[in-house]
Structure 1
Amino acid sequence: MPSVGRRVTQVLAYAGAWLVCAAAVTAVLFFSGTRSIELASHDAVVHPTLTGAAVLETGPVLPDVRIKGTGLLGVDIRLQKTDAASTDELVRRYGYIAGQPEGQIAKVGDAVADMLGDAALRGAVAGLVPIAVWLLVGRTRRRELASRIGLPQVLVGVGVVVVLGVAVWQPWTTEGEPVAAGDEWVSLQDFLGPQVPLPDGLEDVEVRGDVTTAQTRRLIESAVDTYDKSKVFYAEAAAEAVNLDLRQPDEGDTVVAFVSDRHDNIGMDPVARAVADAAGATAVYDGGDDTSSGKSWEAFSLDSVSEAFDGFDRWAVAGNHDQGSFVHDYLGRHGWTMLDGQVVEGPGGTTLLGVDDPRSSGLGSWRDETGLSFAEVEQRLADAACDSDVRVTTILVHDANLGREALARGCTDLVLGGHVHVRSGPTRVDGPGGETGYTYTTGTTGGAAYAIAIGSKPRRAADISLVTYRDGRPAGLQWVTVQPNGTFQVGTYAELRYPETEPTD
C-alpha cells in the first residue's frame, strides 16, 4: 500500500501535469480565438494578442490606429460594417465616442475576459484527458506497452506528429502581401503635422495606412478637434459638479438620479454620475430615448450609460425613439431592471411600476398584444397600479402622460417621465379618496434639441433630476441643469407633502 508521502507526490504530479496541459490548451484557444461585438457604431471582431498594444483596424479608407502601453495583453480590433451615411459622419462619431471611451473600453475588456474564461474552462476539461487516459490504462498495461515500444515505433510516432503539424500549417500555401504591410506606424502628431496642436491624452496614439490625401487629413483633424472640445467640455463639467451645492440626504433617505432623453450624448454620462455622487445618490432611473432610432449601432450609448452608473441600482424603460426591442433587451442584459408593467421592488423599500413607451414597440408589458394605442397603455398601467396589493410608490415612464389615469384614480404617489425635453413639475394631483400624488417631467439629459444630441457640448440645457425617498415614499425632488456654455443651475429642493390622514397601503 503506497505511503502517505507517495500518495501526496502522485497527487501533486497529476495536478502539475493537468495544470501544464490546461494552461497550454487555454493559451492556444485564447490567442487563436476571436469574438464579435458591436463597437463604436460598427460590427467588430476582437482578437487578443501579446503585443501590449490596442490596434484598431478601420478598413480601406481611414488609417489604422494603435495605442501602446495597454499592459501585457494587447488586442486587435477589426471594424466591419456600419450604417453611417458618409465617411465624414463616421469620423465625427469616432471623435464623440473617443471623448468618452469608458463604455467602449469596458466592452472590449469584458469581451476579452469572456474569451479567457471560455478558453480556461475548455482548457481545464482538456487537461483532464491525458490524466484520465493515463489512469485508465493502469500501471501494468503501461509497462507492457513501454516494453513493446522501440526506436522504430518512436520514429513512426514522431513522423505522424510532424506530418499532421505540417498538414495543419500548410507552409506551401502563400497569400498576397497585405497592402499596408510596408507601412510604418507614425505618431498622430507626426501625421497631422506641427500646425495641429495635439490634445492631452493622445500622445501614445499612432496611425498606419495610406492616409496621405488632404481630404483624409482634414477628416482626422476634424475628429481630433471634436475629441478635444468634447473631452474638455464634459471633463470640466464633471469636475465642477463635484462642488455643486446640492441637498444632502438625511439619515434614512435614498436618493435616485433620474436621466432621460440622452439621445446618444455619451458626454453627459460622467457629468450625470458626478451630479449623482455629489447628491449622495445610490440608484438611477432611465426614462428612455437613450438612442435616436433604437438601432444596434447605437449600442455605444447604452454601454456608456451602463458604465457610468456601474455600482448603482438601475431601472429603465425604453422611449419612443428606442424603436423595436434592441434597447430594452440590451439594457436588460447589462444590469438594468427593465420595467414591463409589473410592480417590482424599488429603491429605499418602495414599489415601482413602469412600461416602455407604446410608440416605440407597440407592445408595452402586454407582449401577447401588439399595436396598443397610447390611451390603451395608459389605462392598462392605471389598472395595474390600482389592482396592486401594495400601493405603487412610483410610476416610471417615458412620457408622464402615461401615468395620468393612475394619478387621477389616486393609485400612485409619483409619476416620472421625460420625452418633451422640457422640465415641468412637480405638480400635485389629488385622487378621489383624498389621496395625493405628483407628476414630474425631467428635461433632456443629453441636451437634445431634436432626436440627436451628439456633439462636443449640449445643444440645449441638459437636465439631471434627483428623487429623494423617505419612509417608503417620495419625499422631494431637485434638478440640476448644465447650460451649453458649461454653467450649472441648481433648483431648489421641492418637498412632496401628503395628508396625514391619507392611507399608505
Structure 2
Amino acid sequence: MTRLRAWLPAAAYVVVWLVLSSLAAAGFFLTSERTVDVASHEARVTADFSGEVVVRTGPVLPDVRTDSGSPFGVQIELGKTDVRSLEDLTARYAAIGSNPDAQVDKVGDAVREMLIDSVARGLALGLVPLLVWRLLGEARRREIVDHLPTRRGVAFLLVVAMVVIGLTTPWRGDQRRQPERWTPLADFVGPEVDLPEELDDVEVLGPAGGGVQRLVASAIDSYGQGREFYADAAEAAAELPLRQPREGETVVLLLSDRHDNVGMDQVALAIAERGGAEAVFDAGDDTSTGEEWEAFSLDSLNEAFGDYDRWAVAGNHDHGSFVRSYLSDLGWTYFEDEVVDGPGGTRILGADDPRSSGLGNWRDESGLSFDEVRSRIADTACQADEDGERVDTLLVHDANLGDDALARGCVDLVVGGHTHVQAGPRPVAGDNGDLGYTYTVGTAGGAAYAIAIGTKLRRAAGLALITYRDGQVAGIQSVTLETTGRFEVDPYEELRY
C-alpha cells in the first residue's frame, strides 16, 4: 500500500500530461496543412475528424465527397494547374482515376506526416504546464491554488485558456457559413449514365448546368472504360506464357515512352512479376512536357516499381530538370558520365537525351548536339572497355545514341525507345570484331502523340524483359499489348556473342 501511494503522484502527472498532450495534438492536427502535387494540381491538404474525403475543385466543376474509411477526414483544395480546356481537365481526371493509388498514397502520406508532427508537438506542449508546476515549488503552488477562487485567479485562468485555444484551435478563414447540400453522384449525372460500383457512395456539390453534367458524365464513362481495360489487361498479363528465369539469371523490365499513361503501370508491373523481373530500366519520356503538373505520372511509376532496382534516363519530352530530379529523389538511378554497377553483376552506362532542353550527362556543357553526345558516349564506353570494365548495357532514350559505341565494338547491348515502335534485337559487328546488339522497345503508354492518357491505348503498347546470365546480357523477350486488349508475346531471343 505504501508503495502504491508513492506511485500515485507520478501516475497523476502522466495522466494529466497525456490529457493535455491529446488536446494540444488534436488542435495542432486540425490547424495543420500541407501543399502537395495531386492529380496535376498544386493542392492544399488539411485534415479533420469528419471521416470524409472532400475534394474542392474550384468554381467550375462540382466538389466531390466520399467516405474515408477511417475516423480521419481530409479536405483537398485543388489549386493551379496547366491545362488548355475544361474538357482536357476532366479527361485527365478520368485517366488518373483509372490508376489512383499513387495519388491516394501521396495524400495519405501528407496526413500521416501532419499527424506525427502534431503528436510530437502535442507531447512537448503537454509537458510545459507540468514542468512549470513542478518548478514553482510546493509553497508557490499552494499560494496559487488559494488565489484561484478570487477574481484575479479566474482572470488568470481565462487568459491561459484563451492563449491555449488560440494556439491549438483551427481558426480557418474559409469556413462555410451555409449548410452544404450534397447530391449523390448517380442523381447528379442521371439514370442514363452507368455508374461504376466504386462510385456509388460519391457525392457532389456545385453547379448542375447541362454542360457541366455532360462533362462529368463523359469523365465517368472514360473512367469506367479505362479502369476496366487496364484492370483486365493486368489480370491477363499475370497469366502470360513468359520465359521464366533460371538459376543464376537476373531479369530486367525495359519500358519507355509512358507519356503520362498511368493506367499502363499496373499492366507493366504484372508483366514484370510474371516474368520474374528484379529491376527496371526506364528509357525516358515518362511525361509529355517535363513540367511539375505531371508529377502524378512519376508518382504512379514509382508506386508500381518502388521495390525494384531502378535505372533511368530522361527522354526528349522530359524537358528541363524536373523529371530527373523528382525520380532521383524517389530512388531512381540516373547517370553522371561514368559506368556503374548494373543488374546481375553487369556494368551499365546511360545518358539523357540531348534534345531534352540541353540535358545530358555533360550538363556543364550546354547546347551539345545529338552527334556530339553520341560520340561522347562512345568515348566513355570504349575507355571503360580498355580499363577492363566493359559496358554490358547502354541505356539511352533513342538507341541511335549508341551507334558509335556499337560501331567501335565497345558495348554488348544498346537499349532505348523514342520511336514508339519495337525494333530488334539487331546484331552489329564492331570495328574491333566484337559483336553487340541494338534494341528499341515500343511505347509503354501506347502513345500515338506526346500525351497518352485516355480511356484505352492509342496504339499498341510495348515492353520487354532482358535476361542477364553470368554477368552478361543473355536474351530479350518482347511483349505487346494491342489496342484490342490482346497480348502478343514474342519468342525469347538468345543473344550470342
1:374-385 to 2 correspondences below 5 Å = 374-385=370-381
Give 1:250's aligned amino acid. R
Q: Residues of 2 paired with 1:408 and 1:161: CA distance?
A: 79
CA distance in 2, matches of 1:112, 1:177: 22
Q: How does 1:54-203 map to 2 (within 5 A)?
A: 54-138=53-137, 142=141, 151-161=150-160, 164=163, 181-203=178-200
Separation (CA, whole Å) in 2 of partners of 1:495 and 1:278? 19
Among 285, 309, 316, the alignment partner of 1:313 is 309
Q: Is the 8 A contact 1:54 1:70 kept in 2?
A: no
Q: What displacement does 1:9 show?
A: 6.0
Bigger drift between 160-169 and 368-377 goes to 160-169
Contact 1:183–1:209 (CA under 8 A) maintained in structure 2: no
2: CA distance, partners of 1:28 / 1:468: 55
- Is the alpha carbon distance of 1:344 and 1:27 closer, same or farther for their aligned partners in structure 2, counting shifts above 3 Å? farther
Q: Matched residues in 1 for 2:4 and 2:164: separation? A: 40
* AA of the residue aligned to 1:247: R
Offset from partner CA, 1:421-460 (integer Å, 9 cap, x none): 1111112223344433221110111111121212111111
**Is the counterpart of residue 461 in structure 1 residue 460 in structure 2?**
yes
1:475 equivalent in structure 2: 474
In 2, distance between residues paired with 1:93 and 1:255?
33
Give the C-alpha shift of residue 378 in structure 1.
1.8
Which letter does structure 2 place at the counterpart of 1:351? R
Structure 2 gap ranges (5+)? none
Paired AA for residue 480 in structure 1: V
Equivalent position of 1:278 in the other structure: 274
Match of 2:320 among 310, 324, 343: 324
Change (3 A) 1:353 1:16: farther
Per the TM alignment, residue 271 of structure 1 is displaced from its structure 2 partner at its CA by: 0.7
Measure, in 1, the Cα distance between the counterparts of 2:15 and 2:483: 62
Rounded Cα–Cα distance in structure 2 between residues aligned with 1:306 and 1:335: 9
Q: Distance in 2 between matches of 1:432 and 1:176?
A: 73
SS in 2 for 1:361: coil
Deviations 1:375-394 (A, max 9, x none): 22222222322333522221
**Alignment deviations for residues 62-104 of structure 1 (CA, whole Å, 9 cap, x no partner):** 1111111422212111111122111111111111111111121
1:140/1:411 Cα in 2 relative to 1: closer, same or farther (>3 Å)? farther
Match of 1:364 in 2: 360
Partners of 2:146 and 2:181 lie apart in 1 by 58
SS in 1 for 2:199: coil
8 Å Cα contact 2:147/2:153 also seen in 1: no
Distance 1:109 1:93 in 2: 21
Provide the residue aligned with 1:451 in structure 2. Answer: 450
Q: Deviations over 1:345-393 (max 9, x none)?
A: 2222222221211111313122322222212222222232233352222
Q: 1:413 Cα shift?
A: 2.0
Q: How does 1:240-255 map to 2 (within 5 A)?
A: 240-255=236-251
TM-superposed deviation, 1:197: 1.6
Which one-letter code corresponds to 2:198 in the other structure? Answer: G
* Deviations, residues 235-291 of structure 1 (Å, cap 9, x unaligned): 111111111000001012111111100111111111111111111112111111011
- Could you tell me which runs of 5 or more consecutive residues in structure 1 were left unpaired when the two chains were aligned: 499-505
TM-score scaled by length of structure 2: 0.91
Measure the CA separation in 1 of the matches of 2:139 and 2:409.
83
- Please give the alpha-carbon distance, in whole angstroms, between the structure 1 residues aligned to 2:278 and 2:146: 70
Aligned AA for 2:22?
Answer: A
Residue of structure 2 equivalent to 1:502: none
How many angstroms does 1:51 deviate by? 1.3
Aligned residue-pair number: 493
Distance 1:148 1:187, change over 3 A: closer
Q: CA distance change for structure 1 residues 138 and 406 in 2, over 3 Å: closer, same or farther?
A: farther
Take 1:175 and 1:427, find their aligned partners in 2: how far apart are those partners?
62
Alignment of 1:11-26 (within 5 A): 15-26=14-25
Equivalent residue runs for 1:297-312 within 5 Å = 297-312=293-308
Deviates more, 1:109-118 or 1:73-82: 109-118
What's the offset of the Cα at 1:400?
A: 1.1
- Cα distance in 1 for residues equivalent to 2:382 and 2:424: 23
1:268 corresponds to which of 264, 267, 286 = 264
- Paired residue type of 2:307: G
**What is the distance in 2 between the residues matched to 1:4 and 1:341?**
70
Q: CA RMSD in A?
A: 2.8
Identity %: 53
| Counterpart residue number, 2:204 | 207
CA shift for structure 1 position 5: 7.2
- Name 1:412's counterpart in structure 2: 411
